Amino acid sequence: MSYHEQVSRTLAILARTPGWARLKSLRPDCDDETAEAILEAAADFAQGVLDPLGGPGDREGARFADGRVTLPVGFADAYHQFARSGWLGMDIAEALGGQGLPLTLQAAAFSLFDRACTALMMAATSARAAAHLLAEVTDGEIAAEWVPNLASGQWAATICISEPDAGSDVGRLRTRAELRGGEWIVSGNKIWISFADHDLAERIGHCVLARTNERPGTRGLSLFLVPDTIDGKPNGVVIERIEEKLGLHTSPTCAMRFEGSHALLLGEEGRGLPQLFTMIELMRVATGCQGLGLASASADIAENYASERHQGGAADQPPVAIARHPDVRRQLFEIRSTTEILRAAVLDIATMMDMARIEGDGELAALSGWMLPLIKNFGAEAGFDIANRAIQVLGGAGYTREWPLERHLRDARVMTIYEGTTGMQALDFLTRRLWRDEGRGLALFLNRARSEASGNKEVLAILDGFAALSVRMDEMQADTDAALYWADAYMRAAWAAVSALMAHRIGETQAITGLCAQFAYYDALCG
């Protein structure tokens, strides 16, 4: 399947997505013809501009010298073209320099861009998410200055959370911000910061969590924008090194420090982490798109190779395409069905988030919040798993650099780690989405799914089983350690239920039997 065939699949699934019809009724400027034109143009850009960068960029990688990071030839030009063409600001408000398009079209387009060059799109993802953050939590002056420059690609942005002694345990962050003479000054170390320095943009703004008081845990954290330069002069932002990583070689992951850097307080003091979730949630959806992009690319390679590679068959006859061998057919089916089920789920959550924002629909907000840990984690897992399975189809050829599958595998591996590890997503899914929210999103999902799949006994059986499992997990609040031990299995059971609904929606009926078995396994694990 080419980039344009991926567009055709996306449009076909959109047509079956309940929220898309509802969204079009409120956004007549986003009809099917417009969506097709936008995604076809995105496919052209992805294939023609971004795709040629992937392999050479991976081999050369980002370089660090004299305290600065440079990317391979062609990356800065591609990023500028990407921004000038409007792709970077697709879903940013028109008043702030964007296109004002729905998240649904942004997610569909970015899965094409991530497929083409995941490493470069890491910069675009953080800049876009920061633009939304600044538009939401800052005063008009900061948003008016920064958001248009981010959308245009003139400036860039990062998210700065992790420190040497505090990764997921955000409450132990030690970077400090002090108010001196009416100005905030930030000092401290941060690690694992993607695109903390580069030559793509003229200026970089760091969205930094820093401690402003002695209150324990996250209550003492505030959110700041720390520019790398002010009036063209350095602002105490020092890059110490870039990490040598398994993959994403053209995405510089930096260790950095702030040495008395002047900063702008974003939002309310002491509410840094809740405010930063505007950015984090968008980046978690983006992780699902990244996984979908790499899964789509890997599935295409496996299918094309299997149709062209001839081996086996009757000894007195010419060899046959390996796609005709039963075991290879099985592998190709699992690869494709997993990819398209994920595509349906990504489009589903995007339409829900759009409608929740446009209509202020609290139920859709609760439902999309319930699905968010699933999209983030299982999108990430699919990117790695499908690349891995595709390598198996190609055999020894897939293990070589002649084919991009080994690069896709390496690039995808980190995705279940950043933006919240698998374990963190499972804890969130259990303790927040089920316990704290009292199962509101769960109830909405079950009601909607039962209505949509009312005639499918297999899907209904999974939904009933998941409802019963959720009751058991809810009752385990009295034994927290035991419940947390099984949180991962519970999240995987939920994904089997969501996948069954998506398979029913897009007509992947053969996949449902396997999903029944998956659900039964995780249901049994939870006791």
Shared domain for 66 and 178, answered yes or no, is: no
In a domain, 323, yes or no: no
Could you tell me the two tokens for 283?
């980046």
Please check whether residues 142 and 163 belong to one and the same domain. Answer: no
Cβ atoms of residues 92 and 152 within 8 Å: no
Residue corresponding to tokens 């943009």: 201
Q: Are residues 265 and 235 in the same domain?
A: yes
Same-domain status, 46 and 185:
no
Task: State residue 2's pLDDT score.
Answer: 84
The residue count for the chain: 527
Q: CB count, 10 Å around CB of 130? A: 26
117 and 234 together in one domain: no
CA distance linking residue 453 with residue 448, whole number of Å: 9
Q: Are residues 127 and 189 in the same domain?
A: no
DSSP sequence for 1-51:
--HHHHHHHHHHHHHT-HHHHHHHHH-GGG-HHHHHHHHHHHHHHIIIIIH
In-domain check, residue 506: yes
User: Are 118 and 258 members of one domain?
Assistant: no
CA–CA gap between residue 97 and residue 90 (Å, rounded): 10
Contacts of 340 (CB under 8 A, 6+ apart): 9, 13, 506, 508
Sorted by sequence, the CB contacts under 8 Å of residue 341 that are 6+ apart come out as: 499, 502, 503, 506, 508, 511
Last residue of a domain, one of 132, 152, 172: 152
Do the beta carbons of residue 253 and residue 177 sit within 8 Å? no
Six-digit token pair at 5? 């065939």
Rounded CA-CA distance 440/422 in Å is 22
pLDDT of residue 168: 83
**Residue 14 within a domain:** yes
Q: Which two tokens stand for residue 63?
A: 């370089």
- Indicate the SS3 state at residue 131: helix
pLDDT score of 244: 96
* Distance in Å from the first CA to the final CA of the chain: 42
CA–CA distance, 10 with 348 (Å, rounded to integer):
11
Choose the final residue of a domain: 85, 120, 152: 152
Last residue of a domain, one of 117, 152, 187: 152
Residues 20 and 148 in one domain: yes
Identify the bridge partners of residue 261 per DSSP, sorted by sequence position: 186
Q: Residue 505 falls within a domain, yes or no?
A: yes
Residue 203: φ, ψ to 5°: -150, 145
Domain carrying residue 251 = 156-270
Residue 185 within any structural domain of the chain: yes
Q: 170 in a domain, yes or no?
A: yes
Let me know whether 64 and 201 are in one domain. Answer: no
What are the Cα distances from residue 434, in Å, to 284, 441, 449, 478? 19, 8, 17, 14
Please check whether residues 136 and 30 belong to one and the same domain. Answer: yes
Q: Quick check: is 103 in a domain? A: yes
What beta strand segments (E) does 51-166 contain? 63-65, 68-70, 155-160
My answer on whether 13 and 130 are in the same domain is yes
Residues with Cβ < 8 Å from 244, sequence gap 6 or more?
none
How many Cβ atoms sit within 10 Å of the Cβ of residue 365? 17
- The per-residue pLDDT for 471 is 97
Positions annotated as catalytic residues are: 419
Beta bridge partners of 205: 157, 227
Which domain CATH number covers 183? Answer: 2.40.110.10
Mean pLDDT, contiguous 10-residue spans, the chain (527 residues):
89 96 91 96 98 97 96 97 97 96 97 98 98 90 96 98 90 94 96 98 98 89 97 97 97 98 95 94 97 98 95 88 94 98 98 94 95 98 98 97 97 96 96 96 98 96 98 95 96 98 96 97 93
* Judgement on whether residues 189 and 130 belong to the same structural domain of the protein: no
In a domain, 85, yes or no: yes
Contact 209, 272 (CB under 8 A): yes
- Count: domains in the chain: 3
Whichever domain contains 75, its CATH number is: 1.10.540.10
